[in-house]
């Protein structure tokens, strides 16, 4: 009778996956040898990998962290701590290894799979995809121009392909990099300077199938539904031409998957240029992204909801008509506007007293009469956000038909 045994060890000499096949009589001896091998690899730096698969390369780490049969997070970094760190802002789900397996195929690929997704991670010996036909001199000049003389931070040709369980191609990562940003300095006086760690610029390059199309990424003002052949500046641009750009780093593909980019810094997304897709963030210590597979769009959105939490319905008034004005000079003018809507029997649910009424962020210069308003104050508690957002619900004291007209105050985005 034959059995298979898999062991995982992380230590000073990196990750080792031990796969043995043996007869029942030699089970004890093989298991003992595996235990001895792990002890020599080292246990002082061992990590808890009960919820992820960890692959070590020469000077970098690749981590695959399942969140369900059709959801996996992929992290790549040159530092162990960043590669093993939890997902970033907005992710509330808990990783789950249920139903996931790891094997090594005859070509040396690490194959991580579930009932919904199969991931193939190429061995380090596989040449990069689509190499440029350059001789050694021109390649060195090109590398110096684009990446400088420090090749420690990439680009790394860690090819990772993701398919469905039925081997339908979804997405392939070709290469990634972590390039140090230029170091800055700050000085408290003319005699002492302190170096500032500017972090890394991180990027990932993916394949570009000829028939694939891309959607999502929040509120964009380019007027394009299909984002292929477009550059997306993925951050909140308040002064963007045509209105605010409010990027959400979640992209839907016509090939049946969604991608969440796990980096909160300014990110540029080039979709469809030079036969590739490139995601690049200005600051980061890892490349991290989620892939959600689904036969239907609803399946992908269900995965997004699983990762980021339930989006509860807002108060009923927010789905009605909302009027916003940069400034109402006086309280009387504000209440007169609300009364004008009521007198004309026009629907109005919310009046927004915007930022020009604030003496400082979140504080209003327009006095609000206590007899006319019921007040509920909520303060933002997002990490790193020192702006208080006071939300005031107001009901005019003047007689009016239902629904009532609340006044909402918010801070400037």
Q: In angstroms, rounded to a whole number, what is the distance separating the alpha carbons of residues 98 and 101? A: 9
401 and 347 fall within a common domain: yes
403 φ, ψ to 5°? Answer: -80, 165
66 and 117 fall within a common domain: yes
Q: Is the dihedral of CA 265, 266, 271, 275 positive or negative?
A: negative
Q: What pLDDT sits at residue 15?
A: 37
264 and 370 fall within a common domain: no
Residue 338 belongs to a domain: yes
3-state SS, residue 74? strand
Q: In angstroms, rounded to a whole number, what is the distance separating the alpha carbons of residues 162 and 116? A: 11
Residue 247 belongs to a domain: yes
Q: Residue 337: in which H helix or E strand, if any?
A: helix 331-343
Q: In angstroms, rounded to a whole number, what is the distance separating the alpha carbons of residues 205 and 176? A: 6
Among the residues of 264-330, which ranges form H helices?
A: 297-308
Residue 99 belongs to a domain: yes
CA torsion angle for 69, 70, 76, 80 (degrees, to 10)? -30
**Domain final position from 258, 288, 308:** 308
68 and 93 fall within a common domain: yes
253 and 351 fall within a common domain: no
288 and 344 fall within a common domain: no
CB 177 within 8 A of CB 154: yes
Q: In angstroms, rounded to a whole number, what is the distance separating the alpha carbons of residues 297 and 278? A: 23
206 and 281 fall within a common domain: yes
3-state SS, residue 366? coil
**Domain final position from 288, 308, 328:** 308
> Beta strands of 127-266 (E only): which ranges?
160-164, 169-180, 184-187, 193-196, 200-206, 214-216, 230-234, 250-253, 257-261
**Could you tell me which residues come within 8 angstroms of residue 117 by beta carbon, excluding any fewer than 6 positions away?**
69, 70, 71, 72, 162, 163, 164, 165, 170, 291, 293
Q: Domain count for the chain, please give it.
A: 2
Q: In angstroms, rounded to a whole number, what is the distance separating the alpha carbons of residues 335 and 405? A: 10
Q: In angstroms, rounded to a whole number, what is the distance separating the alpha carbons of residues 322 and 9? A: 58
CB 362 within 8 A of CB 412: no
In order along its 413 residues, the chain shows pLDDT tens digits of: 333 333 333 333 333 443 333 444 444 444 444 443 433 333 223 344 688 999 999 899 999 999 999 999 999 999 999 999 999 999 999 999 999 999 999 999 999 999 999 999 999 877 766 666 777 787 677 666 665 555 555 689 999 999 999 999 999 999 999 999 876 545 455 455 555 567 899 999 999 999 999 999 999 888 899 999 999 999 999 888 888 899 999 999 999 999 999 999 999 999 999 999 999 999 999 999 999 999 999 999 999 999 999 888 988 888 999 988 888 888 888 889 999 999 999 989 988 887 776 777 766 655 554 434 333 333 333 333 332 233 333 333 333 444 444 444 444 44
Q: In angstroms, rounded to a whole number, what is the distance separating the alpha carbons of residues 298 and 321? A: 29
Range of the domain at 295: 47-308
Q: In angstroms, rounded to a whole number, what is the distance separating the alpha carbons of residues 219 and 244? A: 8
Q: Give one DSSP letter per residue of 18-47, joined into a string.
A: EEEEEEGGGHHHHHHHHHHHHHHH-STT--
3-state SS, residue 333? helix
275 and 370 fall within a common domain: no
Q: What pLDDT sits at residue 146?
A: 60
3-state SS, residue 353? strand
**Domain final position from 308, 336, 364:** 308
157 and 221 fall within a common domain: yes
303 and 370 fall within a common domain: no
- Give the domain CATH number at 303: 2.60.40.1760
296 and 320 fall within a common domain: no
Give the N- to C-terminal CA distance of the chain in Å, as an integer.
66
325 and 277 fall within a common domain: no
């Amino acid at each position: 009778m034959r059995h298979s045994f898999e062991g995982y060890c992380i230590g000073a000499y990196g990750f080792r996956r031990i796969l043995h096949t043996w007869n029942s009589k030699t089970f004890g001896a093989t298991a003992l040898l595996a235990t001895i091998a792990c002890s020599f690899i080292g246990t002082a730096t061992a990590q808890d990998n009960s919820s992820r698969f960890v692959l070590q390369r020469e000077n970098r780490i690749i981590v695959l962290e399942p969140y369900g049969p059709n959801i996996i997070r992929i992290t790549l970094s040159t530092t162990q701590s960043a590669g093993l760190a939890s997902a970033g802002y907005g992710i509330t789900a808990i990783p789950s290894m249920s139903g996931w397996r790891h094997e090594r195929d005859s070509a040396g690929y690490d194959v991580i799979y579930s009932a919904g997704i199969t991931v193939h991670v190429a061995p380090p010996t596989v040449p990069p995809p689509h190499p440029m036909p350059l001789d050694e001199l021109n390649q060195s000049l090109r590398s110096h121009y684009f990446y400088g003389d420090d090749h420690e931070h990439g680009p790394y040709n860690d090819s990772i392909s993701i398919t469905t369980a039925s081997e339908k191609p979804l997405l392939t990562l070709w290469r990634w990099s972590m390039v140090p940003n230029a170091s800055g300095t700050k000085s408290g006086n003319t005699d002492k300077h302190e170096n500032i760690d500017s972090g890394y610029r991180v990027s990932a390059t993916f394949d570009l199938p000829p028939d694939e199309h891309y959607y999502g990424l929040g509120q964009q003002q380019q007027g394009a539904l299909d984002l292929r052949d477009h550059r997306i500046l993925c951050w909140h641009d308040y002064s963007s031409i045509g209105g605010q750009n409010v990027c959400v780093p979640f992209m839907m593909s016509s090939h049946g998957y969604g991608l969440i980019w796990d980096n909160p810094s300014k990110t540029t997304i080039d979709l469809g240029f030079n036969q590739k897709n490139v995601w690049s963030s200005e600051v980061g210590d890892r490349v991290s992204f989620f892939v959600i597979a689904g036969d239907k769009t609803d399946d992908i959105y269900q995965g997004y909801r699983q990762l980021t939490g339930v989006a509860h319905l807002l108060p009923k008034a927010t789905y009605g008509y909302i009027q916003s004005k940069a400034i109402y000079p006086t309280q009387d003018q504000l209440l007169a506007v609300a009364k004008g809507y009521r007198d004309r029997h026009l629907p109005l649910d919310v009046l927004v007293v915007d930022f020009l009424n604030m003496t400082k962020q979140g504080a209003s210069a327009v006095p609000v009469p206590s007899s006319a308003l019921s007040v509920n104050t909520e303060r933002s508690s997002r990490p790193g956000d020192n702006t208080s957002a006071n939300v005031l619900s107001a009901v005019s004291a003047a007689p009016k038909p239902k629904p009532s007209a609340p006044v909402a105050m918010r801070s400037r985005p």
